[in-house]
Amino acid sequence: MSQRKRLVHRPKIRMKEAQALVHALKTHQVDAILGERHIMVVRLKQAEENLKKSRDQVRALATSLQSIRENERTVIARDIHDELGQKLTSLELGLSWLAQVTPKQRPVQEKIGSLSALVTTLIQSVQRISDALRPGVLEELGLVKTLKSEARAFKEHTGIPCLFETNMGKAKFDRPGSVAIFRIAQEALTNIARHADASRAMIALTTRNNDLILTVNDNGKGIAKKRVLSAHSLGIIGMRERALALDGLLSLRGSTGKGTTLTVRIPLSRVLIGRDSVS
């Protein structure tokens, strides 16, 4: 009888041992899986932090390079304006003097006239190049009047009417902010002239809540989404980086037959000199 009981009892013991072993194995597997997942989560977080750090470093480098580029543009523009511009003005005065001392020599007068016209054209070109390199009117007139002048110049150069609207007539902008906003608007207008096939354009500089809003739109064929996202669209990338450098955001929407709208939103605190200067 006792032997029979031992035979019955032994399988029960083995069953419990087997269950305990299965439980241990499952627990070990779960712990192993959780451990692996935890390690993966930690590694992913580290990778994300490293990627963010790299992006911040690249963005800081891009901002620094843009600042260096603007400073170099200023130096080059000053040299062109002062050196080449002055010499061309001296040449123009010299030709005028020759015209006065040789009034009866018609061939000479004709040659002087053609050279004077050429010098005048060169002086205008020097002025245009200097303004493109260093928008001096930003310092003289401020951002609002400069954008208004840019809209007028765009119409003169392309024949496309360009309206300018603002509710910031009395606002005072710091130099980095005004240069960035002007360059973004300038690049947007260049894209309209080259690609949009538009018959009208508009620039708007407004304030909404605590943000400055720059809007540039047209009624052209509309920009393709793949071009907005393309790594080869360096102009768009440059505009976006300028906005990001001021803690801003840039969006670009295009619709076939309805044109393209560029919108830049920047905190007023990053671009204004004195918040109470906003009208």
Instruction: For residue range 141-164, list pLDDT tens digits in order.
Output: 889 999 998 999 899 989 999 999
CB neighbour class for 241 (10 Å; exposed up to 12, middle 13-18, buried from 19)? middle
Say what the pLDDT of residue 63 is: 66
Instruction: For residue range 223-236, list pLDDT tens digits in order.
Output: 888 887 776 788 88
Rounded Cα distance, 172 and 178, in Å: 9
- Count of positions (residues) in the chain: 279
pLDDT > 90 in the chain, percent? 29
pLDDT range class, residue 268, cuts 50, 70, 90: very high
Q: Which residues contact 109 (CB under 8 A, 6 or more apart)?
A: 99, 102, 103
Q: In the beta sheet, which residues pair with residue 261?
A: 217, 253
List the structure tokens of 71. 């400073």
Mean pLDDT of 191-213: 93
**CB-based contact 217:262 (threshold 8 Å):** yes
The residue among 193, 66, 78, 189 whose CA lies nearest residue 131 is 78
CB-CB neighbours of 48 under 10 Å = 10
Instruction: For residue range 68-82, list pLDDT tens digits in order.
Output: 776 777 777 777 777
> What pTM was estimated for this model as a whole?
0.66
